[in-house]
Amino acid sequence: MADMVSLGTQTVNVGDNVAFTTNRIGGNCQNIRHEPGSGRVTLLPGLYRVGFNGNFSAVAAGTLAFEIRQDGDSIPGSKIITTVTAAGYGNGSSTVEVRVNRPCCSTLSVRNIGTVAAIVSDANLVVSRIG
């Protein structure tokens, strides 16, 4: 298992990934690899449960949307959508299962797919190998 967090706040522009600054638990174990400060997590073959949560705000009104991606592609069922007013707040979470097939690895990320830049605080990504 690996638990990656982003302490404080960060601005995540549309099309960019949430960065996770700290590996709270794991993050450099045999099957799950994450470099602190990066928005990418590398998984070796297996079945994983991936959970993301965070608090969101924006300087302009709009739709804030994030999704968990595998190798750059959207994972169905992973999208978080919240509409905020200027300086408004929202939060959300998503949990999905991810399979990584042999012979190699896969990369996970959490991308801002909304209409405005988002201010993200207390972002947390938990990845657990379940099979």
**Can you say how many angstroms the Cα of residue 39 is from the centroid of all Cα atoms in its chain?**
7
pLDDT in tens, the chain (131 residues): 999 999 899 999 999 999 999 999 886 678 999 999 999 999 999 999 999 999 999 988 888 999 999 999 999 999 999 988 877 888 999 999 999 999 999 999 999 999 999 999 999 999 999 99
Residue 60's pLDDT is what? 85
- pTM, two decimals, is 0.93
Domains in the chain, please, with CATH? 2-129 (2.60.120.40)
pLDDT computed for residue 28 by the predictor: 66
